Amino acid sequence: MPDRIVSAPLHTPPSAVAVFEAPWANPFYCLTDSSAGRYATAAELRTFLRTRRRMPPGWSDPGLLYPSDEQIRAELGGRDLACTCAEDEPCHGLVLLEVANPRPTTPDEPHPEGGTRFTVKRCCNGCGEVLGDVTAWEMHLAVHWSVPLPDVRDECPTCTPVAVAER
């Protein structure tokens, strides 16, 4: 599973894509060098990408050109994403990972030494259907910011039309 890794400029391993550079850098600026600032700007990019998905084809926020979902999937899918943010810091790379890769569903595995290794799953906010694993971004929010898992009804085949109509 591709991951968000930490790298300094010019030290990005060839297997990874540097997302602190154009065109992948976060277009939302962080005015304060703080975790809260980075969290806010990563969340802003996530909101922008989700909003754009509900707009008519060709829509673009005036003044904000950012690679399309298709470009993100084609160029970042399956790759590790390298950024200068520290390991536990909120990073827009986590948001890009979510868009670039389909939400995986990891089966529970029996552990060789007993017990079962299970991956935390994500359920639809509307009907409760299991939609796959919790993403790294969702986990980061829950662990570091006590933020409830974001609404994922628009990923649910049953609830999508309802979720879109409500917004």
Binding site for Zn ion (CB under 5 A): 83, 85, 91, 93, 124, 126-127, 129, 156, 158-159
**SS3 assignment, position 9:** coil
Q: Quick one: 35 or 68, whose CB is closer to Zn ion? A: 35
- Residue 23: is the preceding peptide bond cis (ω within 30°)? yes
User: How many other C-beta atoms are found inside a 10 Å radius of the C-beta of residue 94?
Assistant: 23
61 or 129: whose CB is closer to Zn ion? 129
- For residue 35, give both structure tokens: 């975790």
Least distance (Å) between residue 5 CB and Zn ion: 10
Look at residue 83 and give its three-state secondary structure.
strand
CB of 147 to Zn ion, least distance (A): 18
Q: Do residues 47 and 119 lie in contact, with contact meaning Cβ atoms separated by under 8 Å?
A: no
Q: Cβ 19 to Zn ion, closest distance in Å?
A: 7
- What is the Cα Rg of the chain in Å? 17
CB of 85 to Zn ion, least distance (A): 3
Of 45 and 124, which has the nearer Cβ to Zn ion? 124
Q: Which is nearer to Zn ion, 119 or 151 (CB)?
A: 151
Measured distance CA(4)–CA(91) in Å, rounded:
9
CA distance 164 to 167: 6
Q: Which is nearer to Zn ion, 36 or 109 (CB)?
A: 36
The sign one gets for the Cα dihedral 138, 156, 101, 118 is positive
**What minimum distance in Å lies between the beta carbon of 60 and Zn ion?**
23
